[in-house]
Structure formats: C-alpha cells, structure tokens
C-alpha cells in the first residue's frame, strides 16, 4: 500500500509540473501576442505619420508649382518638410521591421506590411555584374541527377563601389527533376534591408554620410540623381530605418561594455527638435569609457542617448545601476547619483578642471573680449592670471603621468600635485574674503570652492582624470552636424542618431574606419549567431582583421 501511495504522489507531482509548464507556455504565448499587437499598432501609427508628412510635402510642392513662389522662406519650408518626411519615413520602416520580428514569435498576430510604390527597374545604362549561384547537381528531393535547366531568377541589388555605381545581378539557377518533377533552386542571399535593393557598402555609405559627414538624405538624393541614379527620398529613408533595426543588438552589446567601466566621462549638448509651432531644444547625452589614461586594458567606447529635454531624470535613467566614478561638469541633474541611497552605493564625483580653468581664462583672454564687443576696453585680470598659472602647474604634472598605471599616477599626485592644490585652495579662500561677491574673479573662485571635494577627488584615486575632455570631444560631431541638418525630425529620429553616433564615435576611438567597419557589419551580421555577435564590435573586429593580415603574410 505504501508503495502505491508513493507512486500516486509521483504521478500527481508530474501532473502538477506538466500543468505548470503548460500554464507558463500559455503565458509566454500571450506575452508574445501582446508584444506583436503593440508592435503592429506602432508600425501602423508610424506609417500614418510618414504618409501625412509625404502629403504635406507634395502639397507644398504643388503650391509652389502653381503659384511660382521662389522666396527664401518658401524654399526653407520645403526643405524642412523634406527633412521631417525623411525622419518619419525612417521611423515607419524601423517600426515595420520590429513589428515583423515580434510577429514571428506568434502565429495569431499578422505583421503589418506597408504599402509601397511599385519597384522601379534601375537605369539600363548602370553597369551590371552577375553573381551566379549554381543550381544543385542532384535533386534535393529524390537524389536524382536527371535535371533539366529552367529560366533562372534574377534579383538586382544596387551596390556602391568607389567613384562609380553598379548593379549586381544575383542569378539563382533553377532546375526541374525529370524523375519526380520537383523544381529546385538555391535560396536567395540575405539582404539587410527589405527587398534587397541595396548592397552593404551602399547602405554603409548612406548612413555614414548622414551621421558621420552630416549630409542630409535630401542632399544625398540630389547627388545620386546627378550621377544617374534616381532614387526617392522615401526609399533612402527606408534604408536608414532598416539599418537601425538590424544593428540594434550590436548597440546593446556596446552599451553593456561602456556601462561596465570603473570610470565614465559624461556630457551633453543641445539638439534642435522640430516641433509644431517652433523648434524645441532637445539633448544628446554621451558617456565615454576610456581607460587608456591610467593604463587600463579595456578598449575605449562611447554611447549616446537622446532626450527631449535636460531634466535630471534622463542621466539618472541612463546610469540607473552604475556606481563607479563619473567625470562630469557641475550640472545639478547629476547630484542625486552622488548621494547615499543610490543603488548599492553612491557614485564618486570627479569634476572637470578644464571647466574651472575656463572661468579664469575668459577673464584674461583679450581677443575673446574684443570679439564680443569691438568697442569695449579689454581688461586682463591679474588675479585671474595668477589663478591660471597655479592651475597650469597641476596640468603640467598630469601630462607627465598620462598613460601610467593608477598606482603610479596616485603616487606622483600625492607627492607633487597635492601641495599645489592645497596652496591654491588657501589662496582662493583668501582672495574670496577680500573680493566683492559680484566680482567676476570671485564667481570663478566660487565655481571651484562650492564643490571642492569633487575637484580634489583625483588626489585619492589614480583612475580619475583631471578633465572631462574625453566626453566633450565626442559631442563636437553633434555640434558640427547641427549646422548641416539643422534639427532632428522626431524623437525616434533622435534615438536613431544617438545609436549611429555611438557606432561612429567608438570606431574613431579605436582607430577604425567607420565606413569600412559598417560595410562589413551589414554584410555579415545576419550570418553570425548571437554568441559570436561580439566579433563585430569595433575593437574585436580590428583585432581579428589584424590577426588575419599577419596570418596571410606568414
């Protein structure tokens, strides 16, 4: 009886386990269905926004053609509408692909497919190059070698090669089996974007010129048309959105690498965002991992994030679980991250001495004062000059220890820099007691003394840098681009730009050609498993290519 009773308990436990497994599977399926429905709705909304922007653009063009307006204001309005449509079209393409990926996880929700114009053939005068994929020599179905050739399927893909364009014709041979009458044909090659119209180098060039060289898509469209390749703005914008969706997993790997750093540089810059009545001021944040100043072995990298405003909630969200050293300016939005209760421990704040030095430099920069007001009488403050000379002595010491280990840097700082910093603090407190609180020199002194601990933390940790220049250098590209593309057209457009700036900035930090790297990534990313995706990170990609070169030379 006891044996039967034990057997019944085992059977009951197995039944409960099977029921729990079934319940978990059903819950997972429902979650996939909900995700697919949400992605479908997002794709439909993005498509409607792109259609509306296209109609507004067409309406403006028709109005111009009818009434013949050619004023500067009319031209700028049309260009703004084109850039808005460009961003929204890319949003729609990206949302469509994400919706298709979500729909693959369930069979109950159909993916949303956008209606597009009929595909046009490429101009006949563009050179063609055929890549022939041979048909099987034996029937995959029955193994017979009694095959008869059939007309092949030809897919044309526009690819870009230096200084010229060509159309690559991929010819997939097709055969029919005389024995079993089955038709066999090799599978079509993978294309990173839908319909496979463009090759990886063409797509990489499109992306790099937009985000690396700051050339808007409407300018690229005009250049392509002048070269005999007529492509619509919507077609080019589709490719940008598709590339963003394809490379998102690589960005997540890069993000994890940056946020695992012991020390980060952080900064932000303005990004104009096109709004309904006026241009809003959005933000682009960057976080740089660069361990080279203290001899760290980790490769450098940068990640950018976009936000609609400069509220402190954004950097707090970016660094939600980070507890290392953060090198920043004195923006108040970072303050909560240096207090008790942040994650398991507060971050260590390291202020930028370059910002503090700049306050004094502006008071002795005669050329800058004349540039601001030509009729003004420039004044070089002797107190500001003395402060500059004292701070420059600290910078001289830092130049000598750049690249050494953290322990070596700390030893030199304690021996040589600490006395200078102590003397500077005493001198500044003495001068502040004498000067009026409205005096410009007193304000420059207060900038340092109001958070003196943040400025002197470098004396107790050799990993800390004296400045935040690493982050400031990375946002220069955004500042240069503002003059060309004027604004981002949407929030998703800003997020997409942040991801591409991350790729391009990380390539440059690792001395990698962004165009060459992105071309190889788009050609290989679909063939690599998730476990090998790290091979496409710029520093790993560079090391593998160098190893291949050495092996071939040997």
Maximum C-alpha span of the chain: 109
Instruction: Name the 3-class secondary structure at 41.
Output: helix
Contact 289, 271 (CB under 8 A): no
Q: Are residues 299 and 388 in the same domain?
A: no
SS3 content of the chain, % helix, strand, coil (to 5): 60, 15, 30
Cβ-Cβ contacts under 8 Å for 499 (sequence gap 6 or more): 244, 247, 248, 251, 304
Cβ-Cβ contacts under 8 Å for 312 (sequence gap 6 or more): 332, 333, 334, 335, 336
Q: How far is CA 478 from the centre of its chain?
A: 12
3 in a structural domain = no
Contact 251, 499 (CB under 8 A): yes
Strands 164-177 and 263-273 come out as unpaired
Domain endpoint, select from 57, 76, 103: 103
- Paired residues of 171 in beta bridges: 132, 154
How far is Cα 444 from Cα 357, in angstroms, rounded to an integer?
A: 9
Strands 280-289 and 128-133 come out as unpaired
Q: Are residues 244 and 301 in the same domain?
A: yes
Cβ-Cβ contacts under 8 Å for 539 (sequence gap 6 or more): 299, 301, 510, 512
Per-residue pLDDT of the chain (554 residues; tens, 9 = 90+): 555 666 777 777 888 888 888 888 888 888 888 888 888 888 888 888 888 888 877 887 777 666 654 444 555 666 677 777 778 888 888 888 888 888 888 888 888 888 776 667 788 888 899 989 999 889 988 889 899 999 998 888 888 876 678 888 889 899 999 988 899 998 887 777 766 788 899 999 999 999 998 888 888 999 898 888 899 888 898 899 999 999 999 999 999 999 999 999 999 998 888 776 677 888 999 999 999 999 899 999 999 999 999 999 999 999 998 989 999 988 888 888 888 878 778 889 999 999 999 989 888 876 666 666 666 666 678 898 999 999 999 999 999 999 999 999 999 999 999 999 999 999 999 999 998 888 989 999 999 999 999 999 999 999 999 999 999 999 988 888 777 766 677 888 889 999 999 999 999 999 999 999 999 999 999 888 889 999 999 999 999 999 998 888 87
Q: Are residues 448 and 421 in the same domain?
A: yes
Strand (E) or helix (H) holding 16? helix 2-67
Domain ranges, residue 35 = 15-103
How far is Cα 353 from Cα 420, in angstroms, rounded to an integer?
A: 14
Cβ-Cβ contacts under 8 Å for 488 (sequence gap 6 or more): 87, 271, 272, 273, 274, 282, 306, 494, 497
Contact 404, 295 (CB under 8 A): yes
Identify the CA nearest to 310 among candidates 339, 272, 269, 276: 269
Number of domains in the chain: 3
Q: Are residues 369 and 460 in the same domain?
A: yes
Identify the CA nearest to 497 among candidates 260, 273, 196: 273
111 in a structural domain = no
Per-residue model confidence (pLDDT) at position 194: 66
Per-residue model confidence (pLDDT) at position 410: 95
How far is Cα 445 from Cα 384, in angstroms, rounded to an integer?
A: 9
205 in a structural domain = yes
How far is Cα 352 from Cα 133, in angstroms, rounded to an integer?
A: 59
Domain endpoint, select from 64, 80, 103: 103
Structure tokens at 289: 């991992």
Q: 307-342 b/e with 16+ CB inside 10 Å = b?
A: beeeeeebbbebbeebebbbbbbbeeebeebbeeeb
Identify the CA nearest to 172 among candidates 218, 134, 144: 134
What pTM was estimated for this model as a whole? 0.78
HEC sequence for 216-265: CHHHHHHHHHHCCCCCCHHHHHHHHHHHHHHHHHHHHHHHHHHHCCCEEE
Q: Are residues 268 and 291 in the same domain?
A: yes
117 in a structural domain = no
Domain endpoint, select from 81, 103, 125: 103
Identify the CA nearest to 258 among candidates 422, 474, 71, 89: 474
Q: Are residues 461 and 484 in the same domain?
A: no
Tokens 């207090």, residue located: 339
Alpha helices in 375-417 (DSSP H): 382-401, 406-412
Identify the CA nearest to 216 among candidates 204, 233, 202: 233
Q: Are residues 461 and 489 in the same domain?
A: no
Q: Are residues 262 and 276 in the same domain?
A: yes
544 in a structural domain = yes
Q: Are residues 374 and 455 in the same domain?
A: yes
Strands 164-177 and 147-161 come out as antiparallel
How far is Cα 348 from Cα 398, in angstroms, rounded to an integer?
A: 20
24 in a structural domain = yes
Contact 466, 394 (CB under 8 A): yes
How far is Cα 134 from Cα 170, in angstroms, rounded to an integer?
A: 11
What is the DSSP code (8-state) at residue 492? H
How far is Cα 488 from Cα 497, in angstroms, rounded to an integer?
A: 8
How far is Cα 215 from Cα 229, in angstroms, rounded to an integer?
A: 17
Q: Are residues 462 and 474 in the same domain?
A: no
Cβ-Cβ contacts under 8 Å for 121 (sequence gap 6 or more): 156
- Paired residues of 325 in beta bridges: 263, 348
497 in a structural domain = yes
Q: Are residues 441 and 482 in the same domain?
A: no
115 in a structural domain = no
86 φ, ψ (degrees, to nearest 5)? -60, -50
Q: Are residues 475 and 530 in the same domain?
A: yes
Per-residue model confidence (pLDDT) at position 72: 46
């Amino acid at each position: 009886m006891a044996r039967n009773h034990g057997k019944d308990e085992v059977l009951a436990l197995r039944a409960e386990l099977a029921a729990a497994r079934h319940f978990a599977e059903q819950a997972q399926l429902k979650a996939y269905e909900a995700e697919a429905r949400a992605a479908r709705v997002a794709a439909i909304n993005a498509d409607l926004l792109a259609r509306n922007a296209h109609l507004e653009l067409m309406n403006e063009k028709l109005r111009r053609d009818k009434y013949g307006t050619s004023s500067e204001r009319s031209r700028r309005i049309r260009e703004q509408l084109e850039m808005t449509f460009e961003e929204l079209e890319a949003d729609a393409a990206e949302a469509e692909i994400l919706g298709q990926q979500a729909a693959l996880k369930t069979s109950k929700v159909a993916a949303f497919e956008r209606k597009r114009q009929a595909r046009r053939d490429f101009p006949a005068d563009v050179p063609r190059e055929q890549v022939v994929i041979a048909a099987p020599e034996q029937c995959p179905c029955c193994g017979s070698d009694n095959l008869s050739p059939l007309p092949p399927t030809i897919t044309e893909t526009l690819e870009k090669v230096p200084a010229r364009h060509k159309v690559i014709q991929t010819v997939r041979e097709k055969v029919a089996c005389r024995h079993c009458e089955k038709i066999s044909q090799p599978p079509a090659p993978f294309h990173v974007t839908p319909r496979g119209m463009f090759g990886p180098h063409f797509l990489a060039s499109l992306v790099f010129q937009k985000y690396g060289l700051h050339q808007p898509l409407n300018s690229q469209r005009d250049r392509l048309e002048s070269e005999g390749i007529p492509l619509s703005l919507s077609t080019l914008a589709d490719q940008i959105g598709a590339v963003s969706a394809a490379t998102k997993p690589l960005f997540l790997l890069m993000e994890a690498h940056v946020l695992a750093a012991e020390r980060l540089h952080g900064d932000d810059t303005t990004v104009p965002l096109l709004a309904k009545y006026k241009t809003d001021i959005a933000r682009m944040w960057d976080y740089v991992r660069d361990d080279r100043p203290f001899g760290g072995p980790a490769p450098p990298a940068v990640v950018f994030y976009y936000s609609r405003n400069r509220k402190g909630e954004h950097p707090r969200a970016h660094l939600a679980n980070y507890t290392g050293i953060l090198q920043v300016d004195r923006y108040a939005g970072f303050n909560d991250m240096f207090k008790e209760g942040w994650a398991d421990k507060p971050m260590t704040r390291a202020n930028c001495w370059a910002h503090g030095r700049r306050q004094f430099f502006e008071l002795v920069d005669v050329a800058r004062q004349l540039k601001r007001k030509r009729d003004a009488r420039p004044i070089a403050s002797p107190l500001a000059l003395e402060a500059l000379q004292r701070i420059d002595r600290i910078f001289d010491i830092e130049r000598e220890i750049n690249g050494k280990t953290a322990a070596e840097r700390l030893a030199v700082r304690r021996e040589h820099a600490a006395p200078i910093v102590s003397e500077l603090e005493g001198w500044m407190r003495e001068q502040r007691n004498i000067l009026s609180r409205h005096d410009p020199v007193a304000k420059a002194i207060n900038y340092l003394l109001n958070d003196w601990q943040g400025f002197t933390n470098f004396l107790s940790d050799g990993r800390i840098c004296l400045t935040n220049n690493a982050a400031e250098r990375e946002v220069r590209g955004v500042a240069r681009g503002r003059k060309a593309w004027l604004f981002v057209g949407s929030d998703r457009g800003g997020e997409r730009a942040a991801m591409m700036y991350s790729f391009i900035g990380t390539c440059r930090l690792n001395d990698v050609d962004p165009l060459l790297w992105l071309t190889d990534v788009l050609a290989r990313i679909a063939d690599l498993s998730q476990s090998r995706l790290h091979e496409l990170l710029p520093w790993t990609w560079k090391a593998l290519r160098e190893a291949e070169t050495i092996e071939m030379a040997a």
